[in-house]
Structure formats: structure tokens, C-alpha cells
């Protein structure tokens, strides 16, 4: 990330310029997201004015929809490695073409995750207490302190790597692998760490047996590698529809396969947990009983978890049957079901039941208030807007660069008079529109 000065400024200005060039569909989308973001912002203002009392959280269930969304989004961010690893470690060129979109999604997802923590704070005005050096940071004792470090670090890594690559493409230079590869390698381990640390945030609590088990972190990673790639595949197909960015079907197939395998592992983990909870059922299983079967007549979460199980089971069935997985409609149905299923499983199925019953046996049935729903929608809209704008700014540069690369390779190949290579290389010819 060497050169600075007018080059960078010109780059930023020209990227910014792309944001203002779009068709009616683009503008409608941007305006819609902005409107929802503003509505969420308004409800957040009301929450700031009146306090967190406007949520449905209580001393019993002291974390709710915000932290549920946070947990899910950390997983989505981590799942970017499912593009990064094949692109940079296994040198899949088709995936390398789109890996930047994975980074962009990670940036949007981490930003949303951080926002979800901020809106959950009782005193966001004291955020500076968290800044190491200026504030007072309980590191390494507090798992939340770890989470602050890994999330912000991951955001910086992804912004840095993406910026370096896009900027070089803008300058029509091939990014130097020796420059960025060490950072990519670090980002791969860092991605696993963000979801591991987030899982440890929960499993650290010996007071809460539903979370306090070693399977939690593996379960987090497995479900994230299902929902993340599913979300990415949906996003990439949409980008392919609305732009001329070359995204090959082989990339989508790869993501579908990853999601299929991760879903199998996820469902196996859930089964293993259910067996352990219920074979010799004791007090430790109270939360699981509440979640799946209801406890002392309290059944608020049952519809949620059984919906999630059903969605994930159907998704898995589709993804495991070869012709269905390759079918453009069924495949996307499976992706959507996976995303919704894991979102429920991480939120209403993991965060909330950890608080019910409380460690001393109280039952409070939580369901998010209108404020929580609106603020959450606002953050989601903001994240989508961020992704849209980042993609909008970067894609034209990427398209240009890829075209030039391909041209150069074709010329080279023709000069050398060797047959065109098969499969997924830049020179492999036409790209699906």
C-alpha cells in the first residue's frame, strides 16, 4: 500500500463518481435502503431518548434481538474465507475474479455486527472507555474485549486488502502478491478467530449450561459456513443480473457445495447436542427443553426453533441431491432457507434460550419490541446499502481490469500459438452474462 498523494485522491473521486451513475432500478434500491436506514435511525433516536426500556429486554433476558443479529453477522463475515481460501490458496481463477465481493460482504457484515453492539449499549456515549490506551480495556480477561479487537482488526484487514487490490487495478497494475498475500493469510486465520471468539463469549459463561459447552465454537463455525456462502451466492447472482461483472456459475456451484457440507455438519452438531442434553436429562437441559418442547407451559420459542430445523432440513435435502442443487430455482430456494434457518438458530435458538430459565430458575418469555425490530431493520438496510455502494464503486474498476487482463492473455496465447487451456482460466473465453 505504497503510493499515496494525488493518485489515491483521484481513485477515490472516480470511485465516488460511479456511485452517481446508475439506472432507475439502482436508484430505487438505494432510496429504499436509505429510507429504511433513516426509519431505523429515528427509532434508535427514540431509544436513546427514553432508554433501553423501550426494548423487550429485562434483567432476566438481558440480551435480545440486537445481540442475536450481531452473532449471526459475525458468522457471515467469517464466511468470506470460503472465497478467500480457494482464490488465494488453491488459486481458483474463477473465484479469484470475485473474491473481492467476498471481502466487500465481510466489510458490510462486520460493520453491521459492530453497529448491533453499539445500539445494544446502555451508554454509547462512553464508547471511548473501550479504546485501548485512552479508556480502560479489560484485556485479556474479558471475552468482550477480545471481540472488540478481533472485529475491528478484521474490518481493518478487509478494508486494507480490498483497497490495495482495487487501487492497483485502478492504476492498471497487477497487485504484488508478496505485498498482500501475508495479509490475506492473516485474514484467513483472523476470520476463523472472529467467530470463535464470539462463540467463546457465550461458552465462557459457566452460569449458563446451554452455552457452556465445547461444541459451541465448532457449531458456530459450521453454521456460519452454511449461511455465509448461501448469502454470498445470492448476492453474486444478483450482481451478475444487474451488472456485466463476470461471475461464473462454477463459483456459485462451489458455494452451494460448501453450504451443503457445512449444513450436514451443523445438523449433526445439533443432533449431538440434543442427545447429550436429553439422554439423561438434568437441570443443565432446562434451556434446551424450553427451546424445543417448552418449560412449565412456556412455549414462546418452540415455533421458532422448529421452523429453523424444518428450513435447514429442506435446504439440506435440496443441496444434497445433485440435480436439485444445480437447478437455478431450487438451489436459490435452498440458499434462502439456509440463511433464514441459521439466522433463527443463532438468534432465537441460541442467544435467547441461554437466558431462559435464568441461572436461578426464573422464566421470562422474550419477544422483540417494535423499536428493536425497526432498529435492526435499519442496521440491515444500512449494511446492504454499504455493500451496494462499495460494490458499485469497485465493480467498474474490476470489470475494466479483468477485460484488459483477458485481452493481454489472449494476445499472449495467440502469439505463443498454443491451444486454449480448458476450464477456469481468464482465457477460457466467454463468460456467462
Partner 1 sequence: MSDRDDEPKAASGGQARRRFLKGLALAGGAGAAHAALGAWGGKTLSDAFADFFQEHYQRMTEAEVRATIARIERKVQQRYGVSIECDTTPPHEGVLFGYAINVSKCRGYRDCVQACVKENNLSRDTQYIRVIEMDRDSTDLRHGDHYYDHEQVPVEGKYYLPMQCMQCSNPPCVKACPVEATWMEPDGIVVVDYDWCIGCRYCMTACPYQARHFNWGSPDLPAEEINTKTHYLGNRPRPRGVVEKCHFCVQRTRDGRMPACQEACPTGARIFGNLLDPDSEIRYVLQHKAVFRLKEDLGTEPKFWYFRDE
Grid coordinates given for 182: 501475508
Q: Which is nearer to partner 1, 136 or 173 (CB)?
A: 136
298 φ, ψ (degrees, to nearest 5) = -95, 120
Question: Which residue in 65, 102, 78 sits closest to 262, CA to CA?
Answer: 78
Would you count residue 298 as binding partner 1 (CB under 8 A)?
no
By C-beta, is 88 or 200 nearer to partner 1? Answer: 200
According to the binding rule CB under 8 A, does residue 422 interact with partner 1?
A: no
Report, in Å, the least distance between residue 227 CB and partner 1: 24
Give yes or no for residue 362 binding partner 1 (CB under 8 A): yes
Which of 39, 144, 188, 373 binds partner 1 (CB under 8 A)? It is 144
- Closer to partner 1 by Cβ: residue 144 or 265: 144
- Residue 2 CB burial class (10 angstroms; 0-12, 13-18, ≥19): exposed
Give whichever of 56 and 94 is closer to partner 1, judged by the CB atom.
56
Asked if residue 239 binds partner 1 (CB under 8 A), the reply is no
Nearest one of 314, 308, 376 to 343, comparing CA atoms:
308
Q: Quick one: cell of 26?
A: 439502482
Cell reading at 258? 460448501
* Binding segment (CB under 8 A) for partner 1, from list 28-36, 203-211, 260-268, 408-416: 203-211
Residue selected from 294, 359, 370, 420 as contacting partner 1 according to rule CB under 8 A? 359
Task: Give CA–CA dist 369/382, Å, rounded.
Answer: 20
Which residues are CB-neighbours of 214 under 8 A, at least 6 positions away?
203
Q: Which of 16, 28, 121, 185 binds partner 1 (CB under 8 A)?
A: 121
Between the alpha carbon of residue 278 and those of residues 299, 303, 405, the distances in Å are 18, 19, 58
* C-alpha to C-alpha distance for 281 and 381, rounded to whole angstroms: 42
Q: Could you count the other beta carbons within 10 Å of the beta carbon of residue 195? A: 25
Shortest approach of partner 1 to residue 51 CB, angstroms? 4
Tell me if 277 contacts partner 1 by CB under 8 A: no
Specify the stretch interacting with partner 1 by CB under 8 A; choose among 3-11, 198-206, 331-339, 422-430: 198-206
In this chain, which stretch among 206-214, 265-273, 317-325, 365-373 interacts with partner 1, using CB under 8 A? 206-214
Closest CA to 352 of 73, 72, 62: 62
| 127-135, 173-181, 222-230, 311-319 -> range binding partner 1 (CB under 8 A) | 127-135
The CA dihedral of 297, 300, 302, 306, to the nearest 10 degrees, is 160
Do 192 and 81 meet the contact criterion of CB atoms below 8 Å apart?
Answer: yes
Number of residues that bind partner 1 (CB under 8 A): 50
**By CB under 8 A, residue 367 contacts partner 1:** no
Q: Which has the closest alpha carbon to 162: 229, 221, 111?
A: 111
Question: Cis bond leading into 140, ω under 30°?
Answer: yes
Tell me if 71 sits within 8 A of 351, measured CB to CB.
Answer: yes
Phi, psi of 341, deg, nearest 5: -60, -45
| Nearest-approach distance from CB 58 to partner 1, in angstroms | 7
Whether the CB-CB separation of 110 and 148 falls below 8 Å is answered with: no
User: DSSP string of 344-377?
Assistant: HHHIIIIITGGGSS-TTS--------HHHHHHHH
For partner 1, which stretch binds (CB under 8 A), given 133-141, 150-158, 183-191, 423-431?
A: 133-141
Stretch touching partner 1 by CB under 8 A, among 129-137, 157-165, 236-244, 397-405: 129-137
Stretch that binds partner 1, among 4-12, 115-123, 156-164, 252-260 (CB under 8 A): 115-123
Query: Given the complex with partner 1, which of 17 and 132 has the nearer CB atom?
Result: 132
- Mask of contacts with partner 1, 44-83, x by CB under 8 A? ------xxxx-x-xxxx-xx--------------------
Contact flag: residue 372 with partner 1 (CB under 8 A): no
Among 19, 204, 413, 431, which residue sits at the site for partner 1 (rule: CB under 8 A)?
204
| Residue the block writes with cell 482460466 | 425
Instruction: Output 138 or 412, the one with its CB closest to partner 1.
Output: 138
C-alpha cell at 275: 442427545
Q: Which residues bind partner 1 (CB under 8 A)?
A: 50-53, 55, 57-60, 62-63, 117, 120-127, 129-130, 133-138, 141-145, 148, 201, 204-208, 283, 286, 354-355, 357-362
Amino acid at each position: 500500500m505504497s503510493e499515496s498523494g494525488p493518485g489515491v485522491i483521484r481513485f477515490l473521486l472516480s470511485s465516488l463518481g460511479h456511485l452517481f451513475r446508475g439506472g432507475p432500478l439502482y436508484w430505487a434500491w438505494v432510496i429504499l435502503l436509505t429510507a429504511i436506514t433513516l426509519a431505523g435511525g429515528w427509532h434508535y433516536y427514540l431509544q436513546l431518548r427514553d432508554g433501553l426500556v423501550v426494548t423487550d429486554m429485562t434483567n432476566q433476558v438481558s440480551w435480545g434481538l440486537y445481540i442475536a443479529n450481531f452473532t449471526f453477522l459475525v458468522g457471515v463475515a467469517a464466511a468470506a474465507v470460503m472465497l478467500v481460501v480457494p482464490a488465494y490458496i488453491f488459486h481458483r481463477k474463477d473465484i479469484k475474479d470475485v473474491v473481492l465481493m467476498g471481502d466487500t460482504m465481510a466489510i458490510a457484515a462486520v460493520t453491521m455486527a459492530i453497529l448491533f453492539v453499539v445500539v445494544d449499549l446502555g451508554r454509547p456515549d462512553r464508547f471511548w472507555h473501550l479504546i485501548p490506551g485512552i479508556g480502560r480495556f479489560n484485556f485479556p480477561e474479558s471475552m468482550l474485549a477480545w471481540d472488540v479487537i478481533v472485529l475491528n482488526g478484521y474490518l481493518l484487514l478487509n478494508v486494507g486488502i480490498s483497497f490495495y487490490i482495487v487501487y492497483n487495478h485502478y492504476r492498471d497494475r497487477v497487485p504484488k502478491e508478496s505485498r498482500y498475500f501475508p495479509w490475506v493469510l492473516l485474514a484467513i486465520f483472523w476470520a476463523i478467530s472472529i467467530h470463535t471468539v464470539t462463540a467463546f463469549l457465550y461458552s465462557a459463561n459457566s452460569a449458563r449450561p446451554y452455552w457452556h459447552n465445547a461444541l459451541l465454537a465448532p457449531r458456530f463455525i459450521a453454521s456460519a459456513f452454511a449461511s455465509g456462502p448461501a448469502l454470498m451466492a445470492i448476492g453474486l447472482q444478483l450482481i451478475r443480473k444487474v451488472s456485466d461483472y463476470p461471475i461464473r456459475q462454477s463459483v456459485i456451484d462451489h458455494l452451494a457445495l460448501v453450504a451443503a457440507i457445512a449444513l450436514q455438519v451443523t445438523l449433526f452438531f445439533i443432533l449431538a447436542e440434543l442427545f447429550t442434553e436429553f439422554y439423561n436429562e438434568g437441570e443443565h437441559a432446562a434451556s434446551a427443553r424450553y427451546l424445543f418442547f417448552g418449560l412449565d407451559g412456556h412455549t414462546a420459542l418452540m415455533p421458532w426453533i422448529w421452523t429453523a430445523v424444518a428450513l435447514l432440513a429442506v435446504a439440506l435435502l435440496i443441496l444434497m441431491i445433485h440435480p436439485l442443487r444445480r437447478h437455478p430455482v431450487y438451489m436459490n430456494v435452498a440458499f434462502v432457507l439456509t440463511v433464514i434457518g441459521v439466522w433463527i438458530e443463532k438468534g432465537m435458538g441460541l442467544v435467547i434460550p441461554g437466558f431462559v430459565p435464568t441461572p436461578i430458575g426464573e422464566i421470562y418469555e422474550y419477544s422483540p419490541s417494535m423499536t428493536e425490530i425497526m432498529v435492526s431493520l435499519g442496521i440491515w438496510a444500512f449494511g446492504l446499502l454499504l455493500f451496494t455502494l462499495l460494490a458499485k464503486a469497485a465493480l467498474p474498476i474490476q470489470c475494466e481490469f479483468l477485460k484488459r487482463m483477458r485481452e493481454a492473455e489472449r494476445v499472449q496465447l495467440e502469439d505463443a500459438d498454443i491451444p486454449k487451456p480448458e476450464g477456469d482460466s481468464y482465457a477460457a473465453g466467454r463468460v456467462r452474462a
